Amino acid sequence: MDSGSSKSDILVIHVMNETDIELNDLSYCLFSQITQVYGFYDECLRKYGNANVWKIFTDLFDYFPLTALVESEIFCLHGGLSPSIDTLDNIRNFDRVQEVPHEGPMCDLLWSDPDDRCGWGISPRGAGYTFGQDISEQFNHTNNLKLIARAHQLVMEGYNWGHEQKVVTIFSAPNYCYRCGNMASILEVDDYKGHTFIQ
């Protein structure tokens, strides 16, 4: 939702079709300020003539789930893990109907990134944390997960494995900002819990 010219169209299609497709990249819009910086606000003004539709969309974002669980084994989120969250129940207990705070566990789910170093680290983004393989392994073990599927970072091939294939970054915007030349990818999970990347 922070690049391209069809952001509102994608959102409407998703809501109208009650699709099984999880849009990790939509989670980024949970900060209404982000939508102003990256063009969603301008798109709404251009398409609908005023900011009313933008306001309705940003109010709707406050009801979007922060995470998704696929087949009880694949944890999907936009960013990454939080030192304040040990279990999926911690997330289920959030008071979700609010704009995401600028710090704390809800914010971490949108801004944190995996890292090659162990443990928790300070994120260079200024929000969220970095987390090492030891952290993702413990989180997966505690919650009986096989995979953490996330977005939030440009990867040139559309997806990139990390933490010994226990974390995958999936980037669904091809040629990001019309200049990066990257591929896009989606993760398709079949009825037998197998998965395929479609580029």
Strand (E) or helix (H) holding 76: strand 74-77
- The pLDDT, as a whole number, for residue 12 is 54
Residue 27 to residue 196: CA distance in whole angstroms: 23
Domain positions in the chain? 1-64, 67-199
Whether 120 contacts 113, CB under 8 Å: no
Q: Is the full-model pTM beyond 0.85?
A: no
User: Which tens digits make up the pLDDT trace of 62-94?
Assistant: 888 899 999 999 999 999 999 999 999 999 999
Whether 166 contacts 150, CB under 8 Å: no
pLDDT band for position 32 (cuts 50, 70, 90):
low
pLDDT band for position 127 (cuts 50, 70, 90):
very high
Q: Please name which of 59, 66, 60 lies closest in space to residue 90, comparing C-alpha atoms.
A: 66
- The pLDDT, as a whole number, for residue 161 is 97
Higher pLDDT, 25 or 126: 126
CATH number of 67-199: 3.60.21.10
